[in-house]
Amino acid sequence: MIFLFIQISFFTLYLSGVFQATVILREFLIINLLSPVVVTVIILYYECKLSGTPQSRFSQQKVRLLTIAVVIWSMARVIQCWSSLYDSRRFLAIVLSM
């Protein structure tokens, strides 16, 4: 949710003329690549912190499912990053050609 708010605010700043399109593109790429790294570090931290704590079978299954969901989400963000890079470069080429 935070990343969506940041992207909307950057786009608003672009429309108002505060930022250039290349700055916005760079910021979107950083957000899309940084968010999976942050989430992965948080998951690894809790995995290490709770590694010695006995857990029930149900909570082990929930942690495993959460880890799979985070991996899928992280891969989707990286794919979105490369996709938005391609789309943004096309958009930038169109804007600059006008």
User: In whole angstroms, what separates CA 95 from the centre of its chain?
Assistant: 26
Q: What pLDDT digit, counting tens, does each position of 67-83 carry?
A: 888 888 888 888 877 88
Cβ atoms 39, 74 nearer than 8 A: yes
Rounded to 5 degrees, φ, ψ at 11 are -65, -40
CB-based contacts of 42: which residues, under 8 Å, 6+ apart? none
* Nearest Cα residue to 79 out of 33, 25, 11, 23: 33
- Listed by start position, the domains of the chain span 2-97
Q: What percent of the chain has pLDDT over 70?
A: 91
* Nearest Cα residue to 34 out of 65, 3, 1: 3
Q: What percent of the chain has pLDDT over 90?
A: 0
Task: Please tell me the predicted confidence (pLDDT) of residue 77.
Answer: 81
Cβ atoms 57, 5 nearer than 8 A: no
Mean pLDDT of the residues in the chain: 78
* Nearest Cα residue to 27 out of 61, 3, 59, 56: 3
